[in-house]
Structure 1
Amino acid sequence: MFLVVLPVCLATIIFPELILRLIYKPEYASSAGALRIMGVYMMIFSLGFVASQYIVSARMEKVYFTSVIVGGTLSVLLCFVLIPKLGGIGAAISLLIAHGISMGLYWVAMILHVRNRE
């Protein structure tokens, strides 16, 4: 999945202004910073998606539930802190951090599970 998403992510990170100008009206050009952050988010999500599917297929429901709760709670808390100060960029940063931590938890659980099976 990562290799499929990578070209879109790189284009979003490198050329957010151009993408916004081609798709939307000029008044959305100020959203380039948030779009760039979302490009990084898409890369992290595509890597974490593999681990989350492993967690589900390995029937590790407690790990999945814990990660969803941690990520969701952290996302809400970060939104309350960052959105008033940074606006849309704050929302993108809070999503990146919260889901990055959640995806990291999936990867740690997956690696530990695979090591214990050997």
Structure 2
Amino acid sequence: IIVISLVWIYIFQPEYGFFNWVLSLFGLPRVLWLQDPNIALWSLILSTILIIPGTGVVLYSASIGSIPRELYEAAEVEGANAVQKWWRITVPLLKPTTLYLMVIYTIAG
């Protein structure tokens, strides 16, 4: 989260930030993204909207990757189909990640 914050600070930086660099390519004036009260809230909303999906994808990918393959193999030997493996193995083991993301998104929202 600290690294993401530093990236967004760079993006919104008034003099050399990425967004102002793009504006300068089109000959538009620089914008005080976080200093102007009329724009600051919209800047934060934009950054939140762009961060939230990526964070969830990364965390869910890591969580799914950490589920031992032996559990799926054992379920297959027992005759479980794909839906049963999903509901009885994957979903329960993703509950901690889901709870964490729900708390983080609630705080961010």
Task: Report the TM-score range of the alignment, normalised by the length of the smaller protein.
Answer: 0.3 to 0.5
Q: Which has the higher contact order (CA 8 A, sep 6+)?
A: 1
Structure number, greater radius of gyration: 2
Q: Taking structure 2 as the reference length, what is the TM-score of the superposition? A: 0.36
